[in-house]
């Protein structure tokens, strides 16, 4: 049994690395567990991050890890956290190496799993010509033929962000449109074609989307697609739920300021606790969660 770590960080992406930086700066002992499943693994570039706009995601993570090397209170574990249970005033965590640790605080920094549509070509194009975020990928496809793929009310939350990017915009509902008549009228007024046919496949050459083929045999030339997420989001781990952390209707952990969840001693940050998904915002969230944990640890030490 190992009890040298005050904090367990589950997830080694932008949120977890930023949380570790905050903890390292305040000389807190933390174990960061990373099972190497980054959400942006399919992307060749990371954008909208000052000083690192356009960097490869793997390079960004390597630089972030390098920044942590000087903080000897931060340790990395390459593997999974199997379980975390309450143990006295803290927690008992078991990891995939077989080791167990007594931990005072937990930071849930694992992200979400993007659900792949069961359409030929979707998975191959994900992060390359099929995207989820115009802030992350919009600039590169501006002025092209774009489709917005999704259905229901959420279409009209994304539509304004996509509308100004495209020279030719089409909405694909992959089946009967579940939208209001006035919303259909809006699409007509703005010359946005609505296609309700089921999609058969996405034709592509390498990473470049060429066209969409529908089950009725029709084809539509497109250069990029924005796909709406399906709710609730699926998280990469069930540790939070097993600890009793409450979630909202979208599948995100309910958190207060500085990432505190509904369970004492457990914090959450990054894509698992907010619908605003980007590397920059995940990193900011991680920094806040790290600061929240530091605040609790030092208050407990001083006023014990």
Which residues, 6 or more positions from 154, have their beta carbon under 8 angstroms from its beta carbon?
A: 228, 231
CA distance 144 to 50: 26
Within-domain flag for 184? yes
What's the pLDDT tens digit per position in 251-268? 999 999 899 999 999 999
Q: Are residues 250 and 205 in the same domain?
A: no
- Is the residue at 2 inside a domain? no
Residues 175 and 81 in one domain: no
- The residue from 195, 227, 259 where one domain ends is 227
> Is 1 among the domain residues?
no
Same domain, 150 and 218: yes
- Asked whether residue 245 is assigned to any structural domain, the reply reads yes
Within this chain, do residues 99 and 239 fall inside the same structural domain, yes or no?
Answer: yes
Asked if the structure places residue 273 within a domain, the reply is yes
* Spatial separation of the C-alpha atoms in residues 113 and 279, rounded to whole Å: 15
Two structure tokens written together for 53: 């706009």
pLDDT tens string 157-167: 999 999 999 99
State which of 210, 227, 244 marks the end of a domain: 227
Give the pLDDT confidence of 11-59 residue by residue, as tens digits.
999 999 999 999 999 999 999 999 999 999 889 899 999 999 999 999 9
Q: Which of 211, 227, 243 is a domain's end point?
A: 227
Q: 149 near 174, Cβ under 8 Å?
A: yes
How far is residue 27's CA from residue 131's CA, in Å, rounded to a whole number?
A: 39
Alpha carbon 239 to chain centroid distance?
17
Same domain, 104 and 252: yes
Q: Which domain holds residue 191?
A: 122-227
Q: In terms of domains, do 251 and 210 share one? A: no
Q: Is 255 in a helix, a strand, or coil?
A: coil
Give yes or no for a contact between 293 and 74, defined as CB atoms under 8 angstroms apart. no
Question: Is residue 105 domain-shared with residue 167, that is, in the same domain?
Answer: no
Same domain, 26 and 96: yes
Overall domain count for the chain = 2
Residue 189 lies in a domain: yes
The predicted-structure confidence for 189-244, as pLDDT tens digits, reads as follows 999 999 999 999 999 999 999 999 999 999 999 999 999 988 899 999 999 999 99
Distance CA 194, CA 198 (A): 12
Among residues 302, 280, 245, the alpha carbon closest in space to that of 107 is found at 245
Is residue 235 situated within a structural domain?
Answer: yes
Do residues 220 and 267 share a domain?
no
100 & 249 share domain: yes
Query: Tell me, what's the pLDDT at 304?
Result: 74
Place 1 in a pLDDT band, splitting at 50, 70 and 90: low
Q: Which residue has the higher pLDDT, 51 or 2?
A: 51
| pLDDT single digits (tens) 267-300 | 999 999 999 899 999 999 999 999 999 999 999 9
**pTM assigned to the model:** 0.94
Over residues 110-156, the pLDDT tens digits come to 999 998 899 999 999 999 999 999 999 999 999 999 999 999 999 99
Specify the CATH number for the domain of residue 171: 3.50.50.60
Q: Is residue 102 part of a domain?
A: yes
Indicate whether 131 and 190 sit together in one domain: yes
Beta-ladder partners of 221: 211
Domain shared by 17 and 91, yes or no: yes
């Amino acid at each position: 049994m190992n009890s040298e770590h005050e904090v367990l960080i589950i997830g080694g992406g932008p949120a977890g690395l930023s949380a570790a930086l905050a903890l390292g700066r305040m000389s807190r002992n933390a174990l960061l567990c990373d099972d190497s499943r980054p959400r942006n693994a399919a992307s060749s570039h990371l954008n909208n991050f000052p000083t690192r706009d356009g960097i490869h995601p793997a390079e960004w993570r390597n630089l972030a890890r390098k920044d942590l090397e000087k903080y000897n209170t931060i340790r990395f574990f390459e593997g999974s956290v199997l379980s975390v249970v309450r143990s006295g005033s803290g927690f008992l965590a078991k990891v995939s190496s077989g080791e167990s640790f007594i931990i005072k605080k937990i930071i849930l920094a694992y992200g979400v799993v993007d659900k792949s549509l069961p359409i030929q070509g979707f998975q191959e194009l994900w992060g390359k010509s099929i995207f989820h975020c115009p802030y992350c990928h919009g600039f590169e496809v501006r002025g092209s033929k774009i489709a917005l793929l999704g259905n229901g009310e959420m279409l009209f939350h994304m539509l304004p962000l996509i509308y100004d990017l495209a020279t030719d915009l089409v909405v694909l509902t992959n089946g009967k449109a579940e939208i209001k008549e006035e919303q259909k009228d809006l699409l007509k007024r703005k010359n946005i074609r609505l296609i309700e046919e089921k999609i058969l496949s996405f034709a592509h050459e390498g990473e470049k989307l060429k066209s969409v083929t529908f089950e009725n045999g029709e084809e539509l030339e497109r250069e990029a697609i924005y796909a709406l997420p399906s709710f609730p989001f699926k998280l990469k781990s069930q540790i939070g739920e097993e600890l009793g952390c409450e979630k909202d209707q979208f599948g995100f952990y309910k958190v207060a300021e500085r990432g505190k969840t509904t369970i004492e001693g457990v914090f959450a940050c990054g894509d698992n606790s907010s619908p605003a998904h980007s590397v920059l915002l995940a990193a900011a969230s991680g920094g806040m969660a790290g600061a929240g944990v530091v605040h609790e640890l030092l208050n407990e030490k001083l006023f014990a």
